[in-house]
Amino acid sequence: MVVPAVLIFFVFHTVPVLQGVFYSFTDSPGYGPFELVGLRNYVALFGDPRVLHAYWFTFLIAGVSTVAVNVVSLTIAVWLNSRIAWRTTLRGIYFVPNILAILIVGYIFNYLFSNSLPALGERLGIGRLSTSLLTDSSTAWLGIVILAVWQAAAFNIIIYIAGLQTVPVDLYEASAIDGASPWRQFRSITFPMIAGFFTINMVLSLKSFLQIFDHIVALTGGGPGTDTESVALLIYKGGFQGGEYGYQSANSVVFFVVIVTLSIVQLRFLQKRETSV
Amino acid sequence: MLPRRNPPRRVITLLAVALLLAAGLSACAGDGRTTITFFQFKGEAQEYFRTLAARFEAQNPDVRVVVDNPADPETALRTRLVKNDVPDVMTLNGNGTFGEFASARIFRDLTGDPVLEGVNRSYLDVIATLGRGGPGEVNGVPFAANASGLLYNVDLFEEHGVAVPRTFSELIAAARTFRDAGVTPFYGMLADSWTAQSPLAPLSAQLQPDDFFEQRFRDGTTFARGWASTAAQLARLFEYTQPDPLSKGYEDGTAAFARGESAMLLLGSYAVPQIRFGKPDFTIGSMALPATEDPARTTLVSGVDVVLAASRQGDHPAEVDRFLRFLMRRPVMEEYCRAQVAVPTLEGLSNDDPALAGVSEYIESGRIVGFTDHQFIPAIPLGPLLQSFLISGDERAFLRDLDEDWDKVAARRTWGLGAVIA
């Protein structure tokens, strides 16, 4: 069964990638006649403020969300792993966001951010809250981060719970006899013991947040103006709606290299940390 | 380990099942009829075109028409084109995207085709200026036109004693009257950034130099020079919207107008069906948006709202011809235009809907110009730039960004731009 698998992978994955690389050297709109333009698309990319802004914005969202989602999900996972009532039910509830479609949840969040929250802000007399979070370019990214973290935490919690269950109970018993505080237990036992899971979660979250797309479509559509455009959204908008298929193909090749590089660097760095603790 | 003899046989069985399934599926369509695909972009007219297709099928038993009406039609059509899967017949909005597709030689050349008989020349000129597959080609049939000025609530105008403004300062004075009376003058719908292009088109058409876009394509002028007063006056209009226009979109605006919450709406005739959907209890009036102090210089922006086009390399040209001719028959167009409050493009037909009464003299006397925003290819983010501008009010930054984006796109493209005017 290896040969068909390789064949299928090659036809449906490798060939499209190579096609994309080829189109990045053309001025094709995706249909009709086109010409080869060499490296012109790549040169143009680095002088395009809209593209540079999209990269900057994507890194901002991905960085903030990765940190936030790991803090949130590790906290919840530790809590869900302790002796509490309704433990199994609660674990189920906390997993629900993971199975909902982001687009649909996004439209619900959009409604909350642009109607419910301003109404609440007005009633409480908080001027800052009384206009929609999403219509101001200095706060719109916060809305996106909140949705992204809320949705991604579910999956990370599961991985952390799985990690927490690999920690032997006798370690805690021994440290309790030595009189270690809960914080000390977490810092010296729990966290080092689940370092591998931490690495997995960090790398996976960064990678998926770098490709953030549906969240933005549902919340802001890239607006106000083009202030909340991520790279993935820009590729879609410019390539499929703007008729610049070749140019955005070049952008996606660059973006692909960026994601792979970042993931490798992050993995190396975190694995080194794992062995040193 | 078991001897590996089984897999090939299993694979063959699987393949056989797959083949059988595929054969069964294609047999479903094989009832002897020729299938043509009809791509339809107008969400509001979905039901109408479906019944039309059914009527055509009844009259032509040998043809089956598959109506495809996706959400976000322009993107859907582009993805179909990428796959080389061009629908046989298409309805499209006569905008920059249509021009791009035409110059990429997607559409059939209809020069001399009998289907063009009786079509108003000026609308053929409008779609020709958007772009075409080659010199002298006609790549589409104008089916319905629109009138883009502004819509107003006739009852509110009478109640507050406001006459239909004929100059820009009268328009601002009217807006001030309404604001002082506690009525929102214009409803802002900036959450849908294209809505700001609606007042932009008549303002720029009246305020820019005559050959502005020809010059801009030749790099002979800039937006900073040609559009300075356009930007200033557009910003003036948006001073009279409700607070927080950015959180409301097209649907909110048309619904609020139907409820009588705003006196005017900066949209064209195409919005009337959507407003009537909200059951207004007043008459919807329309006027050309005056941009200058001289009423004689006011023109009406009118474009081709629906253009019919056929695939250049379609498999069933004869059936497509029959379908196009069916769609272009007088009663069909008349019925469509009545339902959608559109302007018919066949000579001798007119629409006496009250919502068009205020602009009909412009249409009849030919004082019309095309949409200026259709000269922008979609790679230039005109909508988002307008949205940022109307929030920040920074006129100079807007014009500078417009020039920069225009030049950037022109520099990285070898085709499309300029072909629009040529």
Inter-chain residue contact B7 with A1, CB threshold 8 Å: yes
**Cα separation, B299 vs A216, whole angstroms:** 39
SS3 labels along B92-111: ECCCHHHHHHHHCCCECCCC
Q: Do A27 and B415 touch (CB under 8 A)?
A: yes
Which helix (H) or strand (E) element contains residue B65? strand B63-68
Query: pLDDT per residue over B66-75, tens digit each?
Result: 999 988 888 8
Give how far B192 is from chain A: nearest CA, Å: 10
Distance CA A223, CA A253 (A): 25
Per-residue pLDDT tens digits for B133-163? 888 889 999 999 999 989 999 999 999 999 9
CB-nearest partner of A242 from B378, B385, B414:
B378
User: pLDDT band for position B336 (50/70/90)?
Assistant: very high
- Residues in chain B with CB shorter than 8 Å from the CB of A240 are 75, 78-79, 82
Residue A241 to residue B82, Cβ atoms within 8 A: no
Distance between CA B50 and CA B42 in Å, rounded? Answer: 12
Residue of A nearest to B380 (CA): A242
Looking at the domain that runs over B32-145+303-356, which CATH code has it been given? 3.40.190.10
Cross-chain residue pair A225–B416, CB shorter than 8 Å: no
The per-residue b/e assignment along B354-375, b for 16 or more CB within 10 angstroms, e otherwise, is ebbbbbbebbeeebbbbbbbbb
| pLDDT beyond 50 at B28 | no
| pLDDT interval class at B3 (50, 70, 90) | very low
- Return d(Cα B223, Cα B231) in angstroms, integer: 10
pTM metric for this prediction: 0.81
Residue B21: pLDDT band with limits 50, 70, 90: low
Q: CB within 8 A of A115, min separation 6: which ones?
A: A132
Annotated domain spans of chain B: 32-145+303-356, 150-300+376-412
- CB contact under 8 Å between A33 and B82, yes or no, is no
SS3 A130: coil
**Closest-CA residue of chain A to B8:** A1
Closest to A131 (Cβ–Cβ): which among B106, B244, B405?
A: B244
What is residue A190's DSSP assignment?
A: I
Q: Across the interface, do B388 and A33 touch by the CB < 8 Å criterion?
A: no
For range A149-155, the mean pLDDT: 93
Q: What are A77-127's pLDDT values in tens digits?
A: 999 988 888 888 888 888 888 888 999 999 999 989 888 888 888 888 887
CA distance B75 to B79: 6
- Which pLDDT score, from 0 to 100, does residue B421 have? 41
Cβ–Cβ gap A241/B244 under 8 Å: no
Classify domain B150-300+376-412 by CATH number. Answer: 3.40.190.10
Least Cα separation, residue B381 to chain A (angstroms): 8
| A242 with B7: Cβ contact below 8 A | no
Enumerate the residues of chain B whose CB falls inside 8 A of the CB of residue A37.
Answer: 414
Q: Average pLDDT of chain A?
A: 89
Nearest CB partner across the interface for B82, out of A31, A33, A242: A31
